[in-house]
A and B are shown apart, each in its own frame.
Chain A
Amino acid sequence: MSLLNRTAGALYRRPRLRLSLLLTAPLLWLAVLYLGSLSVLFVSAFWTTNSFTSEVVKVWSTDNFHELFTVPVYRQVILRSIGVALSVTVLCAVIAFPLAFYTARVAKPSRRPLLVVAILTPLWASYLVKVYAWRLILSQGGLADWMLKPFGLSGPGFGLPAAVLTLTYLWLPYMVLPIHTALEQLPANLLDASADLGARAGRTFRSVVLPMVLPSVAAGSIFTFSLSLGDYITVQIVGGKTQLIGNLVYSNIELNLPMAAALGTVPVVVIVVYLLAMRRTGALSSL
């Protein structure tokens, strides 16, 4: 019997060995590279730097976290970032729902795949190209100004609203897709039953459609929320002078790595809290 056959036989007889051989590589990846880097991030947040050379000094101290909670500018920026992430999420949900309803239930079934592709096309273009396009749209005398001029208004210019608007555009497909899927799977007979029982469209929406689709909205919101919370490039390009957490991390990374790490743990904590909250809606099972 060849070595290959014998090995195969041994593996067949020992399911545990088989399993451990199969899982070692991915588990190592998860534990060492993924969780490992996260924990290094967390641990290094407790170190300090040599102020002359900017080299990391491995001495335990909680100064960075103390600063994080006591310096007003950090608190402000953290709250602003969470605010941006929440508003992007709400805007995405509000825009995505009717859009997904159309693509999943109103449009002709033969056209639906095409519409889904159309929703996905922006994801094929480079992130930077899209954000710079928005910079042109929102700049003075740009498309936004030109369109609002007949109404005596002007565009928002660069700033926080511009950043929220651009992020909403960027992450919208991530919200549309889960809602589209949920609406598509909604059994038609439930809607019929609701109508048979005398419910009007509004009532059907509130009592039948919304409860069934809500977990998908929550699932989409996990994408939009976490992607917005971590973004720092969009806000640099269209955000005017606005700073978000990502910008603070970026500005500290060269000179004060431990402070950057301390700032970096903030979005991690916020997102863990957000995920726990979303788990209660059942969103994680509809991802």
Chain B
Amino acid sequence: MRLTRTLQVTACAAVLLAATACGSSDSSSSGGGLNPPDLKAQSKLGKSEGEVNLIAWAGYVEDGSNDPKVNWVSDFEKQTGCQVNSKVAASSDEMVKLMKTGEYDAVSASGDASLRLIASGDAAPVNTSLVPNYKDIFPDLKLQAWNSVKGKAYGIPHGRGANLLMYNTQKVTPAPTSWAAVFDDASKYKGHVTAYDSPIYIADAALYLKATKPELKIKDPYALDQTQFDAAVALLKKQNADIGEYWSDYLKEISAFKSGDSVVGTTWQVIANLTADEGAKIKAFVPKEGSTGWSDTWMISAKAKHPNCAYKWLNWIVSPKVNAQVAEYFGEAPANAKACEETSDKNFCTTYHAADTAYWKNIAFWNTPIAQCLDGRTDVKCVPYAKWVQAWTEIKG
């Protein structure tokens, strides 16, 4: 069990790390004005092709080779006759590159890769009626900005998670209710504040400014014009003085919270659970301003050679039992509402807020910042992700 958890978190860490280390800009596309090539979704399923080639995050396609108990691929192969060949990608960039080769049929894309795949015509629209389990997916995951364009679905939601504020209940008093604990009030815990080490963390600062500085008129933390961006960067530079260390490795964060080197900062649910399991006195929650988070989508290649098997895989991976297995192994909220009855830990869905619509309303899921503002503004240019990366280096100094 211990190994399973470690693997699960490693996978989680790898995915999230990778998920943020990507994305860039294109002036020709945006959430509002995205004009993908006019591709047709498949209208009916044909015969199985006998195999399917997948690109996935570590921990999403497990055939028992990492852990004999973790296996949801063999049954799929038995039932459908589709041999699964999977390639684990380390980052969204790698996923995009691999998809461009045309050798793969489906990919588990995060919000920052999905838009690029749609815009470049590498991902085909998905006919959701060919995926029977789609009807059980939580409605608030369907047809979102990162998995659809103008009401046309480009993928099947897989799972999601939020970035939380974790604090040491003994050293941080009174209990924080707001992200101010790591921004405006961070100096109280100088040298013991931690933050996620990735350019996408700039969105967390923007989310805080959205609530505290209404004059900046931030609508979407992933669509920042130069003034808004500069304000977020300035806030993070100020925060840097109080940071003890940035974390990108889950082990590091667990050990820092256990020893007290970090007492307040961002985290993921799965890390919070592990830290508490190891005996640290911590609490993790979504502050009143809401939070950022991630949501992954299974997409089908426009050049898929095995589309029928790919559709069968999409249906399989979000089927209640398998979706529950993946979610528990990986440490995220499942996308299928019925998965909650199938988890081995009966409280799993409650812990991960799987069905809590109100909870997810406050989560701004990761998206790729591009020059054309994602919030629909046309009078200004937004700061593209490449500039976010540069700014992040400067923030850390």
Contacts and interface: CB of A to CB of B under 8 A. Distances in A.
Partners in one complex: yes
A32 B244 CA distance: 44
B386 A256 contact: yes
Name the residue among A136, A239, A254 with the largest chain B CB count within 10 angstroms: A254
A140 B263 CA distance: 11
Contacts of B240: 241
B22 A158 contact: no
A207 interface: no
Interface in A41-72: 49-55, 71
Interface string A54-94: 11000000000000000101001000000000000000000
A136 B26 CA distance: 45
B255 A135 contact: yes
A251 B393 contact: yes
Contacts of A248: 393
Contacts of B252: 135, 236-237
Interface in A173-197: none
Contact of A243 (B21, B22, B389, B393): B393
Contacts of A54: 22, 24, 93, 96
Given A158-B245, A251-B393, A255-B386, A140 B261 contact: yes
Nearest to A255: B389
Interface in A103-161: 135-136, 139-142, 157-158
Given A241-B396, A243-B396, A243-B397, A52 B24 contact: yes
A139 B255 contact: yes
A54 to B, nearest CB: 5
A254 B91 contact: yes
B82 interface: no
A240 interface: yes
A241 B259 contact: no
Nearest to A142: B259
A140 B397 contact: no
Contacts of B306: none
Contacts of A158: 244-245, 261
B244 A241 contact: yes
Interface string A225-241: 00000000000110111
Contacts of B290: none
B394 interface: yes
B65 to A, nearest CB: 24
Interface string B81-100: 00000000001011011000
B36 interface: no
Interface residues of A, number: 30
A139 B396 contact: no
Contacts of B393: 73, 243, 248, 251
Contacts of B94: 254
B384 interface: yes
A141 B96 contact: no
Interface string B249-292: 10010011001110000000000000000000000000000000
B246 interface: yes
A73 B394 CA distance: 6
Given A52-B116, A243-B397, A255-B386, A139 B259 contact: yes
B121 interface: no
B260 A140 contact: yes
Nearest to B25: A51
Interface residues of B, number: 34
Nearest to B248: A236
Contact of B26 (A52, A241, A251): A52
Contacts of B25: 51-52
B394 A141 contact: no
B26 A141 contact: no
A114 B260 CA distance: 40
A102 to B, nearest CB: 35
A243 B240 CA distance: 12
Contacts of B120: 53
Contacts of A240: 243-245
Contacts of B248: 236
A248 B191 CA distance: 22
Nearest to B394: A73
Nearest to A239: B245
Contacts of A49: 386
Instruction: Give the interface centre of B22, B91, B243, B245 by most chain A CB atoms within 10 Å.
Output: B245
A157 B389 contact: no
Contact of B246 (A135, A241, A255): A241
Given A51-B25, A53-B96, A256-B386, A157 B191 contact: yes
Contacts of A136: 255, 259
A76 B243 CA distance: 19
18 contacts: A52-B26, A54-B96, A135-B252, A135-B255, A136-B255, A139-B255, A139-B260, A141-B259, A157-B261, A241-B396, A243-B393, A243-B396, A248-B393, A251-B21, A251-B389, A252-B389, A255-B22, A255-B386
Interface of B: 21-22, 24-26, 91, 93-94, 96-97, 116, 120, 191, 240, 243-246, 248-249, 252, 255-256, 259-261, 384, 386, 389, 392-394, 396-397
The 9 closest A-B pairs by CB, nearest first: A52-B26, A139-B259, A240-B245, A140-B260, A73-B394, A51-B386, A140-B261, A51-B24, A140-B259
Given A51-B24, A243-B393, 10 more contacts: A51-B25, A52-B25, A53-B120, A71-B394, A73-B397, A236-B248, A236-B252, A241-B244, A254-B94, A255-B21
